[in-house]
Structures are given as C-alpha cells and as structure tokens.
Amino acid sequence: MTAVNDHVAKIRNLAGLATPMALRVAVTLGLPDRLRGDGDTASRVAAELEVSPVPLEVLLGHLASLGIVEHTSTGYRTTDFGATLCTDAGNGLTNFLHLDMAGGRAEMAFVELLHSVTTGEPGYTRRFGQDFWSDLTQRPHLRASFDEQMTHRFREQIPGLVAGYDWGRFSTIVDVGGGHGSLLAAILVAHENLRGHLVDLDPTATEAIRTFSAHHVEDRAEVTASSFFDPLPAGADAYLLCDILHDWDDENAHRILKRCVEAVAPEGRVLVIEALGGRQDNTEFDLAMLAIFGGRERRVDEFRTLASAHGLVLETVVGLTGQRNLLEFRLTQVS
C-alpha cells in the first residue's frame, strides 16, 4: 500500500495545476519584482495592483511554500530563488510564464490538449478564437515578445549552429523566417565572402536590419518584409528553414517547401534545422508544437517523405548541437 500511495502522490504532483498557474499569475502581476528588497504587505501590494487583498494573500502563501517569497515581520519579500523570476534575470522565464506575453499565452493552449489530440488541430485556435500567427499580427506586443523569445532561445545555440556546418561552401543564403537575424548575422560574420537575405514579416524584418548593422554585416545582408507563403527571393545557393517546419502541419509545411524549391538555384540546397523526432526531440516540447500550432517534431523519414513531394532528396543529416540537426536537401533533377 505504501508503494501505491507513493504512486498516487507522485501523479498528483505531476498533474496538479495549482503551482504552474500560481507561478504564471505571480509573474503576470510582477510580484517577484515588486517584492524585492525589503518586500511589502499583501494589502499595500493589492492596492497598487488593484486586486483583491485576501486572494492575493492566498497566492503569496503558496508562493512562500515554494520558496519564491518569504513571509517576514513586515510582509512578503522575494527570495534569492524567487529572483529567478524577475524581469531582469535574463533567462527567458518572464516571457515563458507571463500570461500576456507570447510564450505564456501560448502555453494556455494546453488547456485544449484533448481537442488537439482528438482532431490534430491546434488548441490555441480553440482557446483564443484565432491561430497563433493571427494573434501575433493583431497584437503587436505579442509579436515583439515572441521575437524576443526566439532570439533568447537561440542565443546559446548559435555558436554550434555556425561551427557545425560548412556554410562557406555557399555564396548566397536566404534565411526563410529568420526572425531578428541573429543566426544569419553570425554566419555572415564567420564567412566574409558570403551574402545573406532574410525574409520575415514586419516589424520583425525591421529588427533584423538593426541586427545586421550591429554585427557590421549590413553591406552583405538584405532584408525582405514578406511571408514565406509568398514567392521567395530567387536564385540563392541555399534556403534555410531554422525551427520553421515544426510550427506547421503537413499541408502548410508543403506550402513552405514549395516556395523554397521554386526559388532555389538548380544546384542549390534547402537546409532544415530542427530537433528530430526520435533523436533530440523533447516530448514536452513536441506536445507544445501540437497544442499551439498543430505541428510536431518530425522524424527523418517524415522529412524525407515531405520533401520528396517537391523533388527534393535528403543528402545528409548533420548533428549541430545537442538539440538540433541540419538536414540538407538537393533537387532530384538538376537541369
């Protein structure tokens, strides 16, 4: 019976929503920042935030049990551990948890996971009445926080992505959906004879211009504000899709690959950088791709099948980092 009770307790801890939501509400209200230093009373903080003091006290009590704040003679204050949730911690947690930022809002799609599993459709659309990308378009602050999230997520990965592949074999690369341009800028810095062209929607594209300027590669980097569902700049040696296809179901992944094949030079390459299902994929992140986008982390055979519909052959798979591989595709027939 002890083992059974232990199992029940463990599953309750895994399944409980109280703590995950308490952390999200705390970050959304700005409590870790507000209670730094000497801290304050629940009543004063409630008055400032225009929330009810008694429920706030209940929330703070749970946060204290987690070690996020501590109860002192003068109220509550943020602990060293809780300071990890402060906005200036630089670890991406604010974006991930804040309910009015892209990461935190997207996580709420998990409430509709049953719908996603039974239909294959994104829970995000069911939860918010429109898909993730339409939401970003209508809410500029969400797009800004999403771009920030992507830049932060790649920060530690970029050196491995640049060093792990022979980018210098190309003379021109189009970064399709390249965000703020951090990866393309790093590639251009490492290869002085290479030229790059980034395609993304505004205002993301405008930020990419600033990134290239900051890295002093603006003379070799072009930016087009456009959707990757529209025709891409033609004739480049390589078209790079980094963490793009896993955001989309097969129908839309085909549309993106079609545009790349239309544009690539006859002897060029289509390059896909992603985690691979069955290799580096994170099952929790895989579920997130499903719930938020209706996408998934595909396996090598799935990529091969997807690409073959567009006359692409998988030539090689290169491990770049512990989290991502590069799949290199060439055209089946070179005229």
Check whether the bond before 233 is cis (ω within 30° of 0): no
**Phi and psi (nearest 5°) for 144?**
-60, -40
The residues assigned a catalytic role are: 246
Residue 314 and residue 328 in contact, taking contact as beta carbons nearer than 8 Å: yes
Residue 91 and residue 82 in contact, taking contact as beta carbons nearer than 8 Å: no
Rounded to an integer, what distance in angstroms lies between the CA atom of residue 307 and that of residue 329?
8
Residue 229 and residue 259 in contact, taking contact as beta carbons nearer than 8 Å: yes
Taken as a whole, the chain contains a residue count of 335
Q: Where are the alpha helices (DSSP H) in the chain?
A: 2-15, 18-29, 31-34, 42-49, 53-66, 93-97, 102-107, 113-119, 123-128, 132-138, 140-155, 158-163, 182-190, 204-214, 250-263, 283-293, 300-308
Residue 179 and residue 188 in contact, taking contact as beta carbons nearer than 8 Å: no
